[in-house]
């Protein structure tokens, strides 16, 4: 593997525009960026591994999209706007059609989000995709995990659990009826091509008191906010149960209510934003969601006493099953 040839051949395009703020990109010892004065720099690194984060046979174009999307989701959760990213790629072999499709998916999302590929590294080895994304946010306005206060509303964007549904179908744990193939296709796109909620994150600056992206399951990720803010939470499962886009198929009997419950609360790979805001900000939250063209749902409230509780279908306060709140990034290895 010749790293220079690979970068030139697949990841640099003729007529590629240099993004604003990028002074020198791929091809020097370092990329040089010039953040806007008064902005803080936001940085996050995420790795995607075959078998752990994606199936070996995932279409490479979708994989390229997802590898960048999960990193952009971290910027979104901070309310940052993208500046650029580096790509460190370990490849078992140089498979030109695979690389071309991977680069196409990656760069299409990069272009759409104004996030330039500024540097990277390629090496021969077991497939490993490591992306570091750089963004900027006005100093002091970043959304952090430690700002949730007792009485705040808890909100979540978009849908939860559909990526997990798709995963369970791929694993053969769940079978959907033929009539549900459209729903399954939509769920697969949620799993394979998540949409980072960048516009929403930026619109929530000055409104949300805390935020996190839901990558490992709602309960686990919200747990980090609770821990870092020193508070507790009460979630209404009558609201979270509605967040599965495929929930209408519950009635068909193919999706037991218990599964819907579990996937929405602890599914993983959702890449939605979970955030808190004071009740006085409800109209501002809805206006931000509207401006970002991203639906949001109010699912609970922050409590002063640490701990995470649920309201069940009868409105009774219960503790979640312990394993739901624990971090356990599920593997995409075939069973």
Between CA 277 and CA 221 the distance in angstroms is: 17
CB of 235 to its own copies, least distance (A): 20
> Please, which residue, 126 or 177, has the CB nearer to its own copies?
126
Coil, helix or strand for 153?
Answer: strand
Report strand pairing: 296-303 vs 232-236. Answer: antiparallel
Between CA 169 and CA 188 the distance in angstroms is: 9
> Please, which residue, 29 or 258, has the CB nearer to its own copies?
29
Q: Say if residues 70 and 46 touch (Cβ distance below 8 Å).
A: yes
CB of 230 to its own copies, least distance (A): 14
* Residue 319 DSSP class: P
CB of 291 to its own copies, least distance (A): 21
> Please, which residue, 51 or 206, has the CB nearer to its own copies?
51
> Please, which residue, 117 or 244, has the CB nearer to its own copies?
117
How many CB atoms within 10 Å of residue 191? 25
> Please, which residue, 118 or 191, has the CB nearer to its own copies?
118
Ranges of beta strands (E only) in 139-175 are 153-157
* DSSP result, 87-142: EEEEESS--HHHHHHHHHHHHHHHHHHT-EEEEEEEEESS-EEEEEEEEEEETT--
- Given the rule CB under 8 A, which residues bind its own copies? 2-4, 23-24, 27-35, 37, 40-47, 49, 51-53, 74-75, 77-78, 80, 84, 86-88, 90, 118-121, 123-126, 128, 130, 132, 134-135, 137, 139, 142, 144-146, 211-213, 224, 228, 327, 329
> Please, which residue, 118 or 260, has the CB nearer to its own copies?
118
Between CA 79 and CA 197 the distance in angstroms is: 9
The phi and psi torsions of 91 (rounded to 5 degrees) equal: -125, 135
């Amino acid at each position: 593997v010749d790293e220079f040839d690979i970068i030139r051949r697949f990841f640099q395009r003729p007529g590629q525009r240099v993004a604003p703020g990028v002074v020198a990109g791929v091809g020097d010892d370092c990329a040089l960026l010039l953040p806007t004065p008064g902005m803080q720099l936001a940085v996050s690194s995420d790795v995607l591994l075959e078998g752990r984060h994606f199936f070996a046979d995932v279409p490479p174009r979708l994989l390229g999209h997802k590898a960048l999307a999960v990193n952009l989701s971290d910027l979104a959760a901070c309310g940052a706007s993208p500046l650029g990213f580096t790509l460190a790629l370990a490849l078992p072999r140089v498979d030109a059609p695979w690389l071309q499709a991977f680069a196409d998916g990656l760069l299409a999302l990069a272009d759409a989000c104004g996030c330039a590929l500024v540097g990277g590294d390629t090496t021969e080895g077991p497939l490993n995709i490591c992306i570091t994304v750089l963004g900027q946010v006005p100093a002091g306005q970043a959304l952090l995990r430690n700002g949730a206060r007792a009485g705040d509303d808890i909100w979540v964007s978009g849908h939860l659990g559909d990526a997990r549904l798709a995963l369970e179908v791929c694993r053969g744990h769940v079978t959907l009826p033929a009539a549900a193939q459209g729903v399954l296709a939509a769920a697969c796109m949620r799993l394979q091509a998540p949409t980072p909620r960048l516009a929403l994150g930026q619109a929530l600056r000055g409104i949300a008191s805390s935020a996190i992206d839901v990558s490992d399951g709602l309960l686990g990720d919200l747990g980090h906010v609770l821990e870092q803010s020193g508070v507790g939470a009460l979630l209404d499962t009558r609201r979270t149960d509605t967040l599965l886009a495929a929930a209408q198929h519950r009635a068909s009997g193919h999706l037991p209510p218990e599964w819907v419950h579990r996937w929405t609360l602890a599914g993983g790979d959702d890449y939605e934003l979970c955030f808190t805001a004071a009740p006085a900000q409800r109209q501002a939250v809805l206006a931000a969601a509207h401006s970002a063209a991203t639906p949001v749902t109010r699912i609970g409230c922050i409590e002063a006493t640490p701990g995470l509780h649920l309201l069940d279908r009868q409105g009774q306060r219960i503790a979640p099953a312990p394993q739901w709140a624990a971090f356990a990034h599920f593997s995409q290895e075939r069973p």
